[in-house]
Structure 1
Amino acid sequence: MTTPSDEAPSDRRSRKRLATRRAISLAADRLFFERGFENVTVDEIAAAADVGRMTVFNHFPRKEDMFFDRDEEARETLRQALRQRDSSVSPIETLRLLAHQLVRQQTPYLLFSTASQSFIETVENSETLKARARAIRDEIAGELAVALAESAGQDADDSKAKLAAAMLLASWSVAFIEAHRIFRQERDTDKAKAAFLALVDQGSVGVKAAVAGTAYA
C-alpha cells in the first residue's frame, strides 16, 4: 500500500510519475478493501484513478502488483541493510536488528493496527493474493541468499546462504502472521509488536545455530 508520506523525488517528471502511481495504488486499495480483490477489474481501477487502462499497466504489470506495491521497497531495505552493515556485526544479527528498527520506525509494511487488518483480510480472502504472497516470499528468499553471500564475501550460490535465507524468511513470516493474529484478537498494537520481535529473535537464534562457524553467524 502506498502512503502520502513516501519520499518525493526532486525532478518534475519523476514527481508526476510517482503521483500517478500513488493515485492508482490508492484507488486500487480502496476498491480491493471494499469489494475484495477478485471482484475488482483493472478497468474499474483505471476509472477510479482517472487514468487509462494502459497507464495502469505501465506502472503495475499485474493486478497483484497494485496490492503488493511495497514489495520492491521491502527487498531493497534488506539488500541495503546487508550492503551497509557494520563489519563487526554478523549478517544474521544485522537483519535481526533491522527488524527491530523497522518496527520502531513504524514502517508501513510492519504495522499491526486496525488499518493493516484490511490488508491482511483482503489477502486471506483471495487465492490469487495468497499465491502471489507465497511467490514473493520465495523470490525474496532467493535474493536474500545472494545478498547474504555477497555481504559475507562468499560465492553467490553458497548453500549455507540459501539455508540461512530460507530460515530467516520462514521465521519472519511466522512472526508476521502471529503478530496480526494477536492484534486481531486483542487490538493491542504493542503486544503484537512484542510478539513479532520475540519470534524474529527466536528465529535468529535458530539460524545462527544452523550456520554456526560460517561468516553468516
Structure 2
Amino acid sequence: MMRCMSTPSPKLRSRKRLATRQSISNAATRLFLERGFEHVTIDEIAAAADVGRMTVFNHFPRKEDMFFDRDEEGRAILAQALRERAPGVSPIESLRRLAYRLLAEQSPYLRFSAESQGFIKTVEASETLKARARAIRDEIARAVAAMLAECAGREASDPAADLAAHLLLAMWTVALIQAHRTFREKQDSEEANAVFLAIIDQGTIGLNAAMAGTPYA
C-alpha cells in the first residue's frame, strides 16, 4: 500500500526559510567583520553557511543586505511605535519614548559596546556599505514621512510630514554617531547611552518647536 508523503506546512516552510536566511546572514557578517566587506565573496559566504550560491541570492539580492539584515525589522518597530502610541502622545514624543525603551531592552539597534564597534568599523572601511547606509536612511525617512501623514490623516505627500521625518532621521543619526564615538573614546556603555539620550531629548525639543502647529508635535 502506497502512502502519500506529507507536505510541510506553510509555518514550517516559513520557519525553515527564516532559519536559512539567518544562517546566511550570520556567516556573512562574521566574514565581513573578520576580513572586511569588500574582501568576502558570495561563494565564500555560501560555503560558510553550507548553502548554494543561488540560495544566498534568493534571500539577499544584494551583498550589503546581508550586513544590514535587520533593516526591515527596524522599520516595523518604528511603524509600531507610531501607530500604537498612547492617546495624547504625539508622533515625535512616541519616537523619543521609543529610544528610551530600546535602550532599556538592550536592543541590538542601540548597543554601544566593543561588539558594535566592529560593526561600525566595518561600515567605515567600506564605501559600498557607507553608500547603502545612506540609502537606507533616506528610505526610512520616506517611510516615516508616510507613517506620520497616515497617523495624522493627511496625504502621503504632506510637506510637514516630510520635514518632520527628515529632521527625526537627522537627530537619530547624530545621536548614534556621537554615542558610538563616546564608547570608542571612553569604553563606557553607560556614558554612551547617556550621550545618545541627551541628544534625543535635546533634538526632540527642537523638533517640537520646528513642528509647532502641526499634528506631529
Fold-level match, TM-score > 0.5? yes
Q: Equivalent residue of 2:212, what SS?
A: coil
Paired AA for residue 181 in structure 1: R
Distance 1:143 1:182 in 2: 29
Equivalent residue number for residue 28 of structure 1: 28
Paired AA for residue 78 in structure 1: L
Residue-pair matches, total: 208
Paired AA for residue 11 in structure 2: D
| 1:10-54 superposed Cα distances (whole Å, 9 cap, x missing partner) | 932122111111110111011101100000011110011000011
Distance 1:156 1:39 in 2: 41
Distance 2:193 2:73 in 1: 21
Paired AA for residue 132 in structure 2: R
Alignment of 1:38-53 (within 5 A): 38-53=38-53
Distance 2:124 2:146 in 1: 30
Alignment of 1:61-80 (within 5 A): 61-80=61-80
Gaps of 5+ in 1: 1-9
Equivalent residue number for residue 199 of structure 1: 199
- After TM superposition, give the deviation of residue 213 of structure 1 in Å: 1.0
Q: Equivalent residue of 2:155, what SS?
A: coil
Gaps of 5+ in 2: 1-9
| 1:103-137 superposed Cα distances (whole Å, 9 cap, x missing partner) | 11111121001111110000000000000000000
Contact 1:91/1:152 (8 A) holds in 2: no
Give the alignment's TM-score, normalised by structure 2. Answer: 0.94
Distance 1:16 1:112 in 2: 31
Equivalent residue number for residue 110 of structure 2: 110
Give the alignment's TM-score, normalised by structure 1. Answer: 0.94
Paired AA for residue 200 in structure 1: I
Paired AA for residue 95 in structure 2: L
- After TM superposition, give the deviation of residue 87 of structure 1 in Å: 2.5
Q: Provide the aligned C-alpha RMSD in A.
A: 1.0
Equivalent residue number for residue 4 of structure 1: none
Residues 1:132 and 2:132 aligned together: yes
Contact 1:92/1:216 (8 A) holds in 2: yes
Q: Indicate the percent of aligned positions where both proteins have the same amino acid.
A: 68
Runs of 4+ residues deviating >4 angstroms = none
Contact 1:103/1:193 (8 A) holds in 2: yes
Residues 1:54 and 2:54 aligned together: yes
